[in-house]
């Protein structure tokens, strides 16, 4: 197998990308630099935002179904470039190649969704209390959409936002993670090809990219021409972005940390639950916002189920994510390992029994997944650590399990494994899970694009992808039309001249 640097050089040439710049491209597969890309200056970033604002004045006039045609062309090009793009995802963020292919497929899926959506940006007709009047609600393009994405899903989450924004009539300015610049530039190159095929109706500045660190994200959040900032990342990042955007009365869409939990009940299909929980906390090396962080098991099942889960964690295939047999790849960098090690140390000090968590001696940052049996849900169990760490708790009554599940600051994803209809219905009711995602007999991770994705509390409250998430990228307008010759006022108010 070639070195990551050799593979990256080959793929960079395929996408027409230069590796001569000032920002390192580092592959977590071996932790080595594989080239450099050009970092965007503040002056260039500001110019791109202002050009996007000018593009908005034209793009909003293009009919929505026609805007959907651009996204259709983009989706077709993604199909043609699926494999090399997936390889870049794997090389830059370290997820196994099957997950890299799945991420690009998610981009293709959201393109298909957005194309159909371009003919369904519907409003409402509302009954008026006044004779000879009609009320209606319309949705119009919003403006420039800034997208701040994270390293763990370097291109799919951008696509959730970008495809919907484009069909809604909004130009996009993308600030990807500085840990995954090359695959972001490759996607931008593919979209540029689609824009060229689309023709002159697509204005200059319709899509642009800002390569660099957090300072560019701050610039995007502060710029008054950016109508919406959609930011995916940590809760700390979201607090900063949300405040900065709110200070100028802009809109923000925040998809932040998740401290996700699953409940395993006595009636559960335990083989199914085991597979789901194993993938949930070990998949992507625990670096998904929907990764399983907490497991709540009925006391009658606890010991046997946790023993089986430990065995799975001890035997899972960990290694080079380019190998199709690999199920768990590396952590993204040394800082991720340091955070994991610190969390394990804190858990031990709090009385936790830790199994696994050892570093595997090879180039890159590879670790054995860790399972922690905690005496109480407190301390490190209340905080999201982006690593394959699973806290395990036991429960006696289902209501106690729900209280544990909800007893953290975050509220992204949750699941229950049960064949009891009452438990399933209670879990998804108003008094059950308080998360944005509440699954039954599947794990916490692996969402489809058809549903709205996001969560509550410190997860930020934003919704991306499917359902009616498109409304975040548009502005609502209510209109009252008087087609009579009279002028009755609402609520019976009289004003006679």
- Annotated catalytic sites, by residue? 255, 289
DSSP string across 313-353? HHH--BS-TTSTT-SB--BSSHHHHHHHHHHHHHHHHTT-E
Helix (H) or strand (E) holding 107: helix 97-117
C-alpha dihedral (52, 53, 58, 60), degrees to nearest 10: 100
- Beta bridge partners of residue 416, listed in sequence order: 263, 440
How many whole angstroms separate alpha carbon 66 and alpha carbon 88? 31
How many residues are recorded in the chain?
Answer: 497
Q: Using an 8 Å Cβ cutoff, are 361 and 352 in contact?
A: no
> Phi and psi for 218 in degrees, rounded to 5?
-65, -40
Rounded to whole angstroms, the Cα distance separating 424 from 426 reads: 6
Helices 64-80/181-198 angle, 10° precision: 130
d(C-alpha 159, C-alpha 106), whole Å: 8
Chain centroid to CA 198 = 28
Q: Could you tell me the CA-to-CA distances from 320 to 279, 325, 326, 363 in Å, in that order? A: 17, 9, 7, 10
- Residue 365 is given by DSSP the state B
Cα gap 429→431, rounded to integer Å: 5
| Distance, CA of 300 to CA of 130 (rounded, Å) | 64
DSSP classification of residue 200: T
Nearest to 225 by CA among 344, 121, 142, 331: 142
Query: How crowded is residue 112: how many other Cβ atoms within 10 Å of its Cβ?
Result: 14
CB atoms within 10 A of CB 419: 13
């Amino acid at each position: 197998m070639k070195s990551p640097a050799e593979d990256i050089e080959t793929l960079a040439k395929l996408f027409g990308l230069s590796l001569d710049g000032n920002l390192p491209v580092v592959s977590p597969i071996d932790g080595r630099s594989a080239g450099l890309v050009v970092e965007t200056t503040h002056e260039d970033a500001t110019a791109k935002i202002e050009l996007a604002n000018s593009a908005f004045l034209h793009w909003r006039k293009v009919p929505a179904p026609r805007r959907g045609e651009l996204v259709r062309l983009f989706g077709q090009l993604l199909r043609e470039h699926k494999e090399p793009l997936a390889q870049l995802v794997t090389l830059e963020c370290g997820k196994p190649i099957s997950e890299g292919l799945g991420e690009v497929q998610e981009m293709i899926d959201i393109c298909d969704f957005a194309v159909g959506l371009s003919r369904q940006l519907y409003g409402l007709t509302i009954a008026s209390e006044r004779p000879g009047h009609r009320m209606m609600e319309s949705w119009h393009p919003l403006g420039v959409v800034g997208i701040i994405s994270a390293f763990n899903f370097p291109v799919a989450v951008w696509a959730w936002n970008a495809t919907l924004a484009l069909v809604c009539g909004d130009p996009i300015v993308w600030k990807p993670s500085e840990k995954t610049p090359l695959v972001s530039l490759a996607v931008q190159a593919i979209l540029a090809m689609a824009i060229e095929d689309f023709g002159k109706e697509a204005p200059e500045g319709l899509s642009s990219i800002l390569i660099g660190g957090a300072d560019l994200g701050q610039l995007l959040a502060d710029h008054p021409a950016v109508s919406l900032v959609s930011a995916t990342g940590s809760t700390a990042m979201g607090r900063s972005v949300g405040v900065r955007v709110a200070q100028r009365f802009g809109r923000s869409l925040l998809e932040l940390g998740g401290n996700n939990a699953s409940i395993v009940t006595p009636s559960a299909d335990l083989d199914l639950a085991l597979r789901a929980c194993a993938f949930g906390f070990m998949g992507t090396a625990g670096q998904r916002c929907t990764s399983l962080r907490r497991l709540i098991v009925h006391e009658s099942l606890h010991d046997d189920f946790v023993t089986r889960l430990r065995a799975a964690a001890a035997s899972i295939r960990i290694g080079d994510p380019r190998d199709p047999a690999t199920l768990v790849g590396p952590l993204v960098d040394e800082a991720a390992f340091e955070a994991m090690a610190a969390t394990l140390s804190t858990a031990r000090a709090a009385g936790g029994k830790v199994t696994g968590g050892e570093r595997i001696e090879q180039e890159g940052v590879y670790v054995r997944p860790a399972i922690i049996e905690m005496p109480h849900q407190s301390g490190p169990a209340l905080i999201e650590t982006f690593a394959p760490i699973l806290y395990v708790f036991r429960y006696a009554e289902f209501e106690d399990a729900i209280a544990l599940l909800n007893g953290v600051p975050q509220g992204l994803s949750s699941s229950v494994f049960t064949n009891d209809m009452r438990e399933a219905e209670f879990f998804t009711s108003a008094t059950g899970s308080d998360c944005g995602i509440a699954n039954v007999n599947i794990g916490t991770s692996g969402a489809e694009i058809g549903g709205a994705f996001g969560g509550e509390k410190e997860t930020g409250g934003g919704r991306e992808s499917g359902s009616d998430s498109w409304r975040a990228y548009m502005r609502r307008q209510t209109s009252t039309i008087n087609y009579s010759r009279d002028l009755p006022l609402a609520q019976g108010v009289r004003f006679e001249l």
